[in-house]
Homo-oligomer: A and B are copies of this chain.
Amino acid sequence: MIVKNNKDIEESIPEEKGIRNVTRKILIGSQDGSENIIMRLFKLLPGGHTPYHDHRFEHVVKIEKGKGVIITESGEEIEVSEGQSAFIPSHEKHQFKNPYQEPFEFICVIQNQDKIS
């Protein structure tokens, strides 16, 4: 069994086209022995956003702090805030944005990509 302090986990800055003011921590992943599930914590600073993209893996999301916006495949903007959860199916376009003045934090759980069939 592994127990970790989230504050001690190294924060990385994902470098990808269409991403801005986003940091990521892998709370639990392959390096902890997890074979199937990866739990990431994302922080979007004010003005930050992830790419508007889709991929073959699902997203299981829980908003942890602040509020933000998820852009859907149809272009709809859904405001989300602490106390909400979200599910984004595989191959469905989406984007997370923080148009507000406070940091927006959420966990985003994915399958270990080695396991995606």
Contacts and interface: CB of A to CB of B under 8 A. Distances in A.
Interface of A: 1-7, 27-28, 32-37, 39, 58, 60-62, 70, 72-73, 78, 80, 83-90, 92, 94, 107, 109-111
Contacts of A39: 60, 62, 85, 109
Interface hub of A61, A86, A109 (most chain B Cβ within 10 A) = A109
B1 A85 contact: no
Copies of this chain, complex-wide, total 2
Contacts of A86: 1-4, 28
Contacts of A1: 70, 72-73, 78, 86-89, 92, 94
A35 B62 contact: no
Interface hub of A5, A62, A84, A92 (most chain B Cβ within 10 A) = A62
Contacts of A92: 1
Q: Which 10 A-B pairs have the closest CB atoms?
A: A27-B85, A32-B87, A2-B87, A37-B60, A28-B60, A3-B86, A36-B111, A28-B87, A39-B60, A1-B72
A41 B109 CA distance: 14
A33 to B, nearest CB: 6
